[in-house]
Structure 1
Amino acid sequence: MPTELEELVGFIANPSQQIRLVAIENLVPYSLSQPDIFKADKFVPIKNLKLLVKDHPQIAEHVLTILINLSADREVLENLATDETFLDTILSYVTLPNEPNANLLSMLLANLAKWDAFQSILASKQPPPKELGSDDLVMNQLMDLFVKGAEGTYNKDADYDHLVYLFADLTKHAELRHYFVRKQDYDGVIPITKLKVFTEHKSHVRRKGVASTIKNVAFDVPSHPAFLAEDDINILPYVLLPIIGNEEFDEEEAMAMLPDLQLLPPDKERDSDPTIIQTHLETLLLLTSTREARDLMRSVQVYPVIRELHKKVADEGVGDACERLANMLMRDEEDAPTQASGGFIDQGAVEDDDDDDKVVEV
């Protein structure tokens, strides 16, 4: 005899919309506490849930919440991320300017990116809504959604913040890193430059995800000259501003800094999250891979910024990253890397950002 819970799961395929709504609403907590009930009968409940994404928005809201939570299970994740028909539905719905569940769809996409083969999304194409003003490449549409959708300006019900966790996971793959540093034909813009403006955004999700994405893209060493060129990606101001506070530098140091770092207001605050600060420091560490980059950072007085940051932020990860970066900037270029003054240590390994590798739950 089926249990009461198993019967409830069976009701999600009921012909009555009202019964489906009641069943789905009551099943949401079980997607966290008893996820295996949705994998019964060779994933039949999952199959039904995927169809209900297109149901009444109120039902779809609960369905998406359940799928977001269930995607923490590796088997469910594979089932969702490898279903091309389901993915086409998700991608077509998330881009609609009047989609009420766009934020939940963004969260689900971010979780699906945990499946390595999901990087094939780079080649995916679909007709864009005319309101989006994008081209038929899905990645360009998602990027434009993230940018134009901030503050609810594209869809009054969504800010698309969680798409940035999708970008952060995708940029762990070399092919996707290349996408972010290539000028796109339809608008003549390099995708990473669309993200850099959010390093000081009020949304913690945006700041954290953008920092991780920039860091992961910085593993593409051939793109470093473009990263640093003022007339190209010009990433330095956007990485340095979040880690600088209201410190006072001596006149010689201040005058040599990047224009964006000069004459900051006295109430300037650095990012409140030490993990975001550490991520930006690790991006700078990656950019010290070439002599040209190290010389540029010295000339624009990156070291004093790091020196003051090291004094002001009492966090082990930040302190460690400050010391490694200072060592790279202060070392004698004629010698092999050696320990610099002030107790700074040699540069350690910097790994792909895993901070956003956690599945979102709602």
Structure 2
Amino acid sequence: MPTELQELVGFIAHPNPQLRKIAIENLVAYSTKEPSIFKTDQLLPVKHLKFLVRDDPVIAEHALTILINLSADRDVLECVATDDKFIDIVLQNISDPAEPNANLLSMLLANLAKWEGLKSIATKKQKPVQNLGSDDLVLNQLVDLFVKGMDGSYNKHADFDYLAYLFADLAKHSEIRQYFVTKQSYDDVIPLNKIKVFTEHKSDVRRKGVASTIKNAAFDVPSHKTFLDEDGINILPYILLPIVGGEPYDEDETMAMLPDLQLLPPDKQRDSDPNIIQTHVETLLLLTSTREGRDLMRSISVYPIIRETHTHVDNENVREACDRFVQVLMSDEQDEAAAKTGEIPDDERIEEV
């Protein structure tokens, strides 16, 4: 590392705030160009960056940006994600309605969720935030931030969209899947019911993260009854509407569909992101892992929707997902044992996202 660059990294810990500000502003670009400069002296620069998150808002903004960029490195990820005191500071700051860097904090949390140990957030508690209306469970606070903070309505500086990516990664863990499908005592609402409404939001990040959260939560087969129950999560309208276009259907097909899908305008557009469409189709496939799920989807004409999606979405992954779904839905019950146990056949297994 050039001497001048090494000195610049050292200045982020300087007691003079003006020098810290100049140094860190000039170092942001190097967090992607030359990230190794922050890994010297046993990651001492990273430790300084964590401290600077509590500094002047402009300095904190640059520190967070650098940490977000560096968290792709496994050593840095471990250093940051295993620092419980730092995580507590991030969680306290993100819920402050006046926090200017709340979106960057959301992005950092989403990146830190790549560290498996962050699943401990499932039981973490902190003092309730008066304006938020949540209890002391951190996950409830984050979900309410995501819902109530949409489009700057809670904090004018933030939309909290990237929390959707945090939820998606956390939902890979069984204990957090259980959280998302369990009614919470403080407001009597199932968390997945709060976020499912964003499957057709204008934000690509929010839609993609919510779609992935729903899919990962759906790996919990015993909860499928709640997923499909109209008085439970009632997830089907929220994953079918984004994949439906304006194509005409036969009258019999239309009349069998869910009411929300029967009177759509001819200019209805399906989601513009094929990755999101693929995720929704894969969620439908997961929900066919029980006999009840397959029977329900046959009865409400899900097959024609998948047929039209296969025809009109020019994407190999989407078409492959549609093919796999149709193979399951239209086949005879070849494996009654799998249906009774609720297990997904090996040839139909799909990956968490």
TM-score normalised by L of structure 1: 0.93
Correspondence list, 1:32-111, <5 A? 32-111=32-111
Partner of 2:225: 225
Superposition map of 1:1-362 within 5 A: 3-333=3-333, 348-353=348-353
Tell me the secondary structure at the aligned position of residue 199 of structure 1.
Answer: helix
Change beyond 3 A, Cα 1:12–1:186:
same
Report deviation, 1:351. 1.3
Overall identity of the aligned pairs, in %: 68
Q: Higher relative contact order at CA 8 Å, sep ≥6: structure 1 or structure 2?
A: 1
The residue matched to 1:158 in structure 2 has which SS?
coil
Whole-angstrom CA distance in 1 between matches of 2:286 and 2:347: 10
1:356 is matched with which residue?
none
Counterparts of 2:347 and 2:6 in 1: how far apart (Å)? 55
Separation (CA, whole Å) in 1 of partners of 2:269 and 2:284: 20
Letter in 2 for 1:93: N
Question: What runs of 5+ residues in structure 2 fail to find an aligned partner?
Answer: 338-345
CA distance in 1, matches of 2:286, 2:8: 52
Name the amino acid aligned to 1:100. Answer: P
Q: Distance in 2 between matches of 1:276 and 1:326?
A: 18
Q: What one-letter code is carried by the residue in structure 2 that aligns with 1:271? A: D
Give the letter for the 1:296 counterpart.
L
* Residues 215 and 282, structure 1, Cα contact 8 Å, conserved in 2: yes
AA at the equivalent of 2:126: Q
SS in 2 for 1:135: coil
1:50-82 CA-to-partner distances (Å, cap 9, x unmatched) read 111010101100000000011111001000001
Q: Extract structure 1 runs of 4+ deviating beyond 3 A.
A: 334-337
Aligned-pair Cα RMSD in Å: 1.5
Q: Kindly provide the CA deviation profile for residues 322-349 of structure 1, in whole angstroms up to 9, marking residues without a partner as x.
A: 1111111111236789xxxxxxxx9532
CA distance in 2, matches of 1:245, 1:60: 44
Aligned-residue offset at 1:2: 7.3
Question: Are the equivalent residues in 2 in contact too, given 1:149–1:160 (CA < 8 A)?
Answer: yes
Distance in structure 2 (CA, Å) of the matches to 1:269 and 1:200:
11
Gaps of 5+ in 1: 338-345, 354-362
Q: Within 2, Cα distance between the matches of 1:347 and 1:123?
A: 35
Kept after mapping to 2: 8 A contact 1:64/1:104: yes
Summarize deviations over 1:84-108 as a string: whole Å, max 9, x none: 1111111100010010000000000
2 CA distance for matches of 1:244 and 1:254?
12
Letter in 2 for 1:149: G
Q: SS of 1:230's equivalent?
A: coil
Mapped contact 1:110–1:162 kept (Cα < 8 A): yes
Deviation at 1:42, TM superposition (A): 1.6
TM-score using structure 2 length: 0.95
Distance 2:270 2:2 in 1: 57
Q: CA deviation at 1:47?
A: 1.3
Give the distance between the partners of 1:324 and 1:24, measured in 2 at CA.
50
